[in-house]
């Protein structure tokens, strides 16, 4: 099993979610986060004062899936999240040793 963490633009979440649904992904978690990378921030003016916005809003999407599903999931995230501009995000794939469904006690891929 693998854990897929994707940092994407907030406005691309609906497209990514639709593509994940179309390949049969039934569960994911999303959290609003703030971050910066090569995109850097920008400056804004508020009430006549200029200030720098370094941390930009992003969405952290987390999915745990069977190994054979990972390439389809990654492709769906790339297709739905890509704009071609700086700040499109990153995808991290890491191994998961065990998953346990709390309600039933199921373990492994059956708990997904």
Go through the domains of the chain in sequence order and give each one's CATH number.
2-111 (3.30.70.120)
Q: What pLDDT does residue 31 have? A: 98
According to DSSP, residue 84 is labeled S
Contact 73, 7 (CB under 8 A): no
Three-class secondary structure of residue 79 per DSSP: helix
pLDDT tens track of the chain, all 112 residues? 999 999 999 999 999 999 999 999 989 999 999 887 776 666 667 777 766 667 789 999 999 999 999 999 999 999 999 999 988 999 999 999 999 999 999 999 889 8
Among candidate residues 4, 1, 3, the one with its CA nearest the CA of residue 89: 4
Sorted by sequence, the CB contacts under 8 Å of residue 104 that are 6+ apart come out as 111
Taking the complete model, does pTM exceed 0.95, yes or no?
no
Q: What pLDDT does residue 64 have? A: 96
């Amino acid at each position: 099993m693998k854990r897929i963490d994707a940092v994407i633009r907030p406005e691309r979440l609906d497209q990514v979610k639709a593509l994940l649904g179309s390949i049969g992904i039934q569960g994911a978690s999303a959290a609003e986060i703030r971050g910066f990378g090569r995109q850097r921030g920008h400056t804004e003016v508020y009430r006549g004062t200029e200030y720098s916005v370094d941390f930009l809003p992003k969405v952290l999407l987390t999915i745990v899936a069977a190994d054979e599903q990972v390439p389809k999931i990654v492709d769906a995230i790339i297709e739905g999240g890509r704009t071609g501009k700086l700040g499109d995000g990153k995808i991290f794939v890491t191994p998961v040793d065990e998953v346990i469904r709390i309600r039933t006690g199921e373990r492994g891929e059956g708990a997904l």
